[in-house]
Amino acid sequence: MSEMEGVIKYHLNHQHKPLPANINLNRLNAWRSVLYRLQLIGQNPEKYDGLGYGNISQRLVVDSSAFVISGTQTGHLAELSPENYALIDSASVEHNQINSSGLTAPSSEALTHAGVYQQEASAQAVIHVHSPEIWRNTLALNLPHTKAEIAYGTIEMAQAVKALLNSDQVSQLPLFTMLGHEDGVVAWGATLEQAAAVLIQQLANAIALE
């Protein structure tokens, strides 16, 4: 593939220090483990240039723009620990900028997560996975999607996601695929459970079609 999964394209101002001790990552980490077992998050030498894929995040406090996200290149790890997560203190989709801290830099797709939190006030969790089944059935399942000519990690993608989130398509289903990002799917919800359930439901729908 021409794009490089895992390459951070935004301007990152990262402070290398532990996350605040009062942040509880237990449920976020549990869902990340479930998604890893389903191979929706992971790393495979045969795919995506062998780089890790998929990431998960959770808003820290309702109405706050801060969120915790799995770190860059952690896809190979079956279990994550607090040092594998980063805290996004603030992010500007418009300026392609992220301010973060943690013992790992944030996922390369953190700006997409930030865009969802900014547009969707009710979103408390965002999950990005790679699912060949959901992705290739985007049209058959009538899923919201960004176009094939829009590559991941670009300003164009940020604008396309914003336009999509402002449309009534995603009010029916809090999920979209990125046809310009092989196997890329993003879902969100008022809880981690809701975001994961939307993904797993669409995975079952896609498998049923095939």
Which residues are at the interface with Zn ion (CB under 5 A)? 184
Residue type, 107: S
Residue closer to Zn ion by CB (options 19, 154) is: 154
90 neighbors 14 (Cβ within 8 angstroms) = no
Q: Whole-number minimum distance, CB 146 to Zn ion, in Å?
A: 12
Residue closer to Zn ion by CB (options 42, 184) is: 184
Q: Whole-number minimum distance, CB 128 to Zn ion, in Å?
A: 6
Q: Whole-number minimum distance, CB 61 to Zn ion, in Å?
A: 27
Report residue 112 as tokens. 């997409």
| Strand pairing class (67-70; 85-92) | antiparallel
The sign of the torsion formed by the CA atoms of 50, 91, 22, 64 equals: negative
Q: Which of 174, 166, 206, 176 is nearest to 191 (CA)?
A: 174
CA atoms within 13 A on the CB side of 163: 10
Residue closer to Zn ion by CB (options 5, 68) is: 5
Residue closer to Zn ion by CB (options 180, 189) is: 180
Q: Whole-number minimum distance, CB 35 to Zn ion, in Å?
A: 13
